[in-house]
Amino acid sequence: MKMTADKENTEEKILEAAKEVFLEKGNDGTRMQEIADKAGINKSLLHYYYRSKEKLFAAVFKYAFSQFAPRIFSAFKDDEDFFALIRNFISVYIDIVSKNPFIPLFIINEINKKNTVFTNVIKMSGINPQVFKDRIQKEINNGKIKSIDPNQLIINTIGMCIFPVIGRPLIQVILFEDNKAEYDKFLESRKTEVADFIINSIKI
């Protein structure tokens, strides 16, 4: 029997290559040959370790989603001051999406095709927005923030974090004359700007 080190090495190389290609080009745009080339292996090995393109894609999707969605809510467990919590969450979240710019669009895309894969992944991911909602409602009840539908606040927040990343190529051209450095600065400053914007809106 061969050592598992080698096996895992190849299997790992495949998954890494698959991540790169799938995340950038989506399911339809991805060619198995390109993944094999990027992994530096024979195409047949893809089918040896993952049986089909669909299975390999599912593995990538699972990774992308687990990498992403849970972190959305993990930052919310603390018992910190609510505004500090918001500041921290937004800073962390913008940082994540900025460093993994392909993941949000990838997830949104595949979710918009009624791909059955994603439904299971979501259910399995144990996402629980109730923690969010409860905390927001608590702050409202305590008179710390204005009354607002928690769902609205949540979507506002995530929308402001994600949109500038997935719409980057367009926004960078229209608003920043395609100046990459300027846009990076813009994204960086959003870590505090968005938080300020939200807090200004909901504080009493």
Partner DNA sequence: CGTAAATTTGACCAATTGGTTAAACCATAT
Partner DNA sequence: ATATGGTTTAACCAATTGGTCAAATTTACG
> Residues 160 to 179: which contact its own copies by CB under 8 A?
160, 162-164, 166-171, 173-176
Structure token pair of residue 150 = 């928690």
Local structure of 182: helix, strand or coil:
helix
37 is an interface residue for DNA by CB under 7 A: no
Q: Of these partners, DNA, its own copies, none, which one is at the site of residue 90 (CB under 5 to 8 Å by kind)?
A: none
Q: Per rule CB under 7 A, is residue 204 in the interface with DNA?
A: no
Residue 181 touches which of its own copies, DNA, none (Cβ within 5-8 Å per kind) = none
HEC-encoded secondary structure of 18-80: HHHHHHHHHHHHCCHHHHHHHHCCCHHHHHHHCCCHHHHHHHHHHHHHHHHHHHHHHCCCCCC
Q: Does 120 bind its own copies (CB under 8 A)?
A: no
| Residue 45 interacting entry, from its own copies, DNA, none, C-beta within 5 to 8 Å by type | DNA
Alpha-carbon gap, residue 116 to 119, rounded angstroms: 6
**How many helices and strands, by DSSP H and E, does the chain display?**
11, 0
Q: Give the binding site for its own copies (CB under 8 A).
A: 25-26, 28-29, 105, 107-109, 111-114, 119, 122, 127, 129, 146, 148-149, 151-152, 154-156, 158-160, 162-164, 166-171, 173-176, 186, 189-190, 193-194, 197-198, 200-202
